Amino acid sequence: MKALTTAVQRETDKAPSPPVRGQKTGTGSLARNVLASLEDAKAEQIVSIDLAGNTSLADVMFVASGRSGVHVGAIAERVMKGCKEAGLGSPRVEGLPHCDWVLVDAGDVIVHIFRPEVRQFYNLEKMWSGDRPAESGARASA
């Protein structure tokens, strides 16, 4: 898998957003819209993971943190609003009532929003990174 890339830059020091890679034509614009929504909602530690060619689940996955359950919920609401503004309609959402971990499934773009301690526990970035040992090699040496 491709290495994780940090996708956050502050408005004051950035030029127009670089394209987020994606397999399908509309995925890049949807991913940029989702990233802008995450930034607008002040999401923290935003990470973009390019999944194109590695899984059929989605082309891009974002992982972000909110400072509290209320902040996580507000970030998720902003991402859902951004998807609707992009003409996607209503994305599928899981975890909104508890706001420990909210999953927003916008089809080609998946967004995971965590409270910091929950994010650290599940560590999705490590699971989807290219640094994982080979499955067969890890079992053979155990």
Phi, psi at 21, each rounded to 5°: -65, 145
Closest CA to 59 of 30, 18, 99, 16: 30
Alpha helices in the chain (DSSP H): 27-40, 69-85, 116-122, 124-128, 135-141
Residue 86 is predicted with a pLDDT of: 82
Residue 37 is predicted with a pLDDT of: 95
* pTM metric for this prediction: 0.73
Residue 131 is predicted with a pLDDT of: 54
Token readout for 45 is: 């530690």
Q: How far is CA 90 from the centre of its chain?
A: 17
Greatest Cα-to-Cα distance within the chain, rounded to the nearest angstrom: 50
Question: Which strands form 44-50's sheet, in the order they lie side by side?
Answer: 5-6, 44-50, 60-65, 109-114, 101-105, 92-94
Rounded Cα distance between 102 and 25, Å, is 26
Identity of the residue numbered 45: Q
pLDDT along the chain (142 residues), means of 10: 35 36 59 94 94 82 96 96 85 93 93 95 82 46 44
Which residues lie across from 112 on neighbouring strands? 63, 103
Contact criterion met (CB below 8 Å) for 117 and 66: no
Using only C-alpha atoms, what is the Rg of the chain?
Answer: 15
Provide the CATH number for the domain formed by 5-134 in this structure. Answer: 3.30.460.10
